[in-house]
Amino acid sequence: MPEESPKATIDETTTIPYPFTGVFSEIVTKSVGFGATKRKEKIKKLWFLERDEQGTTFIRPLSKSYLPSGDPAEIPLARAIKNFFPEPNIYMTRVAPKMAEVEAAVTKGDEHRSQDEHYSAEFAYKEALSIDEFHIRANFGLALTYASMGDKEKAKHTFRTIVTLEGSFNEKHKHLFNEFGIALRKNEMYRESLEYYLRALRLCKSDENLLFNLARACYDNDSHEHAVEFLDKALALKPDFKEAMMLKKAIGKIDPSLLEPQEQDDQPPSDEATNGAA
């Protein structure tokens, strides 16, 4: 049985600065064995804790490879201070070096991808994913590489991983999220594009650009009624959304019954309307 870590105590001056990342431990009680041999045992559980620029605190469990795993879960700072004990040595000797190794491989992949060096980019991203299979930037980069290579099957396989990770739709990954959405459309992966944006909408319902892109995905799937529905929601958030208005008029030329009479005119859609805002 591991030795219990001393508990941090809460007082008016106890806090954790932000932004911040570190490793903390928690002693938890776990039932082991069966029947007459069943007993309770205390074990040390390791958490990767981070505080963002707004001071919000998140935790993720550490994997056996000493890397953060899963989607971040928000936790009250007071609970973290009360129940967790800092493990700076584990962070400095095991976690930080592993994370640096992954980031270096991903950065190398990004550099190769920006130079259209697809095979070198693929190798670098796979190197990162061999250490951390759920690394969001590496999965996005690999999927974008496959899309650029025109390898739809491999792009679809990586797409399946991306849509299961809530962090894929986080604000800090927005540029990758948008780039991948465009890549799906350019590769005529319309069904995947629709699924992708619907997944994002469940996490963020008030983004007019996301609603427009979802409308564009519906348009690509010949689902014009649903496209107009999402365009109306986008325009409710941003009434002067030019691209949304033009795409709606383009749909009206295909099926005038979907528009109000005053919304119909002879203006054709521009490239902006058919290529999307993101």
Q: Is 106 exposed, middle or buried (0-12, 13-18, 19+ CB in 10 A)?
A: buried
Cβ partners under 8 Å of residue 183, min gap 6: 143, 144, 147, 148, 155
The label of the residue with tokens 């190398």 reads 108
Residue 95 lies in a domain: yes
| Overall average pLDDT of the 3-21 stretch | 59
Please tell me whether residues 171 and 96 are part of one structural domain.
yes
**CATH number of the domain bearing residue 162:** 1.25.40.10
196 and 269 co-located in one domain: no
Q: Phi first, then psi: what are they for 71, rounded to 5°?
A: -85, 145
- For 156-191, give the DSSP string: HHHHHHHHH-GGGGSGGGHHHHHHHHHHHHHTT-HH
- The confidence score (pLDDT) of residue 270 equals 44
Reduced to 3 states (helix: H, G, I; strand: E, B; else coil), residue 65 is coil
On whether both 106 and 177 belong to a single domain, the answer is: yes
Rounded to an integer, what is the distance from CA 233 to the centroid of its chain? 23
| pLDDT the model gives residue 264 | 57
Per-residue pLDDT at 15 exceeds 90: no
Both 189 and 232 in one domain: the answer is no
Number of domains in the chain: 3
- pTM over cut 0.75: no
Domain end: 51, 67, 86, which one?
86
Confidence at 268, pLDDT banded by 50, 70, 90: very low
Q: Which of 118-127, 212-221, 234-243, 250-259 has the lowest mean pLDDT?
A: 250-259
**Do the domain assignments include residue 15?**
no
Q: For residues 72 and 127, state if they share a domain.
A: no
Name the amino acid, one letter, at 217. Answer: A
Structure tokens at 37: 């041999």
Question: Are 236 and 264 in the same domain?
Answer: yes
> pLDDT category, 14, cuts 50, 70, 90?
low
205: exposed, middle or buried (Cβ count in 10 Å: 0-12, 13-18, 19+): exposed
State the amino acid at position 144 in one-letter form.
L
Q: Would residue 275 count as lying in a domain?
A: yes
Q: Are both 226 and 269 inside the same structural domain?
A: yes
One domain for residues 42 and 112: no
3-state DSSP helix/strand/coil % of the chain, to nearest 5: 60, 15, 30
| Percent share of the chain, pLDDT over 70 | 88
Partners of 28 in the beta sheet?
Answer: 43
Per-residue tokens: 89:
């040595």
Which residue, of 176, 202, 228, is where some domain finishes?
202
Work out the average pLDDT over 182-192: 84
Report residue 84: phi and psi, to 5°: -105, 155
Assigned domain for 13 exists: no
Residues 106 and 74 reside in one and the same domain:
no
Q: Which of 91-105, 117-131, 164-178, 252-266 has the lowest mean pLDDT?
A: 252-266
| From 33-42, 96-105, 145-154, the region with the lowest mean pLDDT | 33-42
pLDDT one-digit tens code per residue, 33-82: 777 777 788 888 999 999 988 889 999 999 888 999 888 889 998 888 88
- On whether residue 11 sits in a domain, the answer given is no
Query: Residue 25 sits in which domain range?
Result: 20-86
User: Averaged over 166-181, what is the pLDDT?
Assistant: 77
158 within a domain of the structure (yes/no) = yes
Q: Please check whether residue 123 lies inside any domain of the structure.
A: yes
């999307």: which residue's tokens? 276
Phi and psi for 49 in degrees, rounded to 5? -110, 135
Please, which pLDDT band fits residue 261 given cuts at 50, 70 and 90?
low
pLDDT of residue 266 exceeding 70: no
Both 93 and 181 in one domain: the answer is: yes
Report if residue 190 sits inside a domain.
Answer: yes
Using the 3D structure, point to which of 86, 116, 138 is the last residue of a domain: 86
| Distance from C-alpha of 175 to C-alpha of 179, rounded to nearest angstrom | 6
Q: Does 182 lie in the same domain as 96?
A: yes
- Cβ contacts of 184 within 8 Å, gap of 6 or more: 147, 155, 159, 190, 192, 193, 196
> Do residue 35 and residue 65 come from a single domain?
yes
